[in-house]
Amino acid sequence: MSSSSELTLAEGIKNRRSLHVLSDDVKVPDSRVEEILRHAILHSPSPFNCQSGRAVLLVKEEHKKFWDMAFEVAKAAVAPPIFAAAYEPRIKLFRAAYGTILFYDDPAPVNAIAEKRPLLKDHLPQWMDHANGMLQYAVWTMLAAEGLGCNLQHYNPMVNARASELWNIPDTWLLRAQMVFGTPAGPPMLEKQFEPVEKRLFTYGK
């Protein structure tokens, strides 16, 4: 997959951050974002290559429609003081960005594997979660390499039914996360702190 970015993979991984202050003034064309999504969906691993990951790309007014819907749903579901303090300002922040990617899993291919391999039935849901996380990470890293900022949200399950209705998404699909993206318009909310790698990486046999 061609790209204008000169970043190495290691640099792309390092530069990926959670950025919440984003604008909708995006120079990266929608076709490039679609290309990134196609590449990640095609090549990200999944258990037994079941390819259960799904993505729905919302940009411009469709993106804003999603967060308007999330605002309405959260306001109806959450106590007013909590909504005013935690939900309202964050949703307005997300709405100001350019796009949102809805990440789903289609359980049908995983269920088909479970029927063929019943001994793995209890493990497959967890492996499907792992696969979707890898898909999200691949997309996030590639968007960051294009100069876009992202953050990952989890307004599921409160938005599931409305999202399915608004964008004709099968109600059997499982909504996993919402990735908000746009042009970085401010620094990260928190400075990243690193625990010593020596506490987290162990090598034996060398």
* 9, pLDDT greater than 90: no
pLDDT at 12: 84
- What pLDDT band is residue 11 in, cutting at 50, 70 and 90? confident
Lowest mean pLDDT, pick from 71-85, 132-146, 184-198? 184-198
Q: State how far the Cα of 145 lies from the Cα of 2, in Å rounded to an integer.
A: 12
Q: State how far the Cα of 29 lies from the Cα of 100, in Å rounded to an integer.
A: 14
pLDDT at 4: 45
* 137, pLDDT greater than 70: yes
Residue in the block written with tokens 């993106």: 63
**Number of helices (H) and strands (E), helices first, in the chain?**
8, 5
DSSP E strand stretches across 35-171: 53-59, 99-105, 149-153
- Model confidence, pTM: 0.94
Lowest mean pLDDT, pick from 5-9, 40-44, 52-56, 73-77? 5-9
Taking residues 174-199, what's their average pLDDT?
93
